[in-house]
Amino acid sequence: MLKSTIYVDRAATVLKLLGDKTRLTMVAILKQRECCVCEFLEVFDMSQPSISQHLRKLKDLGVVKEERRGQWIYYSLNSQSDLYGLIEDILEHIPVQTEKIKQIENSNPTLRCGC
């Protein structure tokens, strides 16, 4: 398979973004399931604004997309991005985030108030 290439500038930009443990883990989680901010809050030891800022950076580059559903905004990987193939290949080299997914599903923040 012939991969379409990404200019070095753009590739460096996305690698720098993924070169943060929090964001790399977010992307790994999003590869398995979409998440909203309050779900990420369950697995990262940081404030809600920090989570939002990481997601914003990923969104600004087109790595993730968002979709509002009622009160929540769901984030997912943007498979339409020219960066998607690179990101998929990178994710093959890191462990699947099973523990964090479990944590999210056990806490179920979006179901707390019976919505």
Q: Residue 27 or 41: which CB sits closer to its own copies?
A: 27
Binding marks (x or -) toward its own copies, 66..85, rule CB under 8 A? -------------------x
Q: How many CB atoms lie within 10 A of CB 107?
A: 15
Residues that bind DNA in the complex, under the rule CB under 7 A: 16, 20, 22-23, 36-38, 41, 45-50, 52-57, 66, 68, 70-73, 109-110, 112-113, 115
Q: Which does 61 bind (CB under 5 to 8 A by kind): its own copies, DNA, none?
A: none
The residue type found at 48 is Q
Is residue 98 within the footprint of its own copies (CB under 8 A)?
A: no
Q: Give the Å distances, CA to CA, from 45 to 6, 11, 25, 31.
A: 33, 28, 13, 21
- In whole angstroms, what is the distance from residue 11 CA to residue 54 CA? 18
**CB-based burial label for 31 (10 Å; 0-12, 13-18, 19+):** middle
Q: Which does 6 bind (CB under 5 to 8 A by kind): its own copies, DNA, none?
A: its own copies
Q: Residue 2 or 101: which CB sits closer to DNA?
A: 101
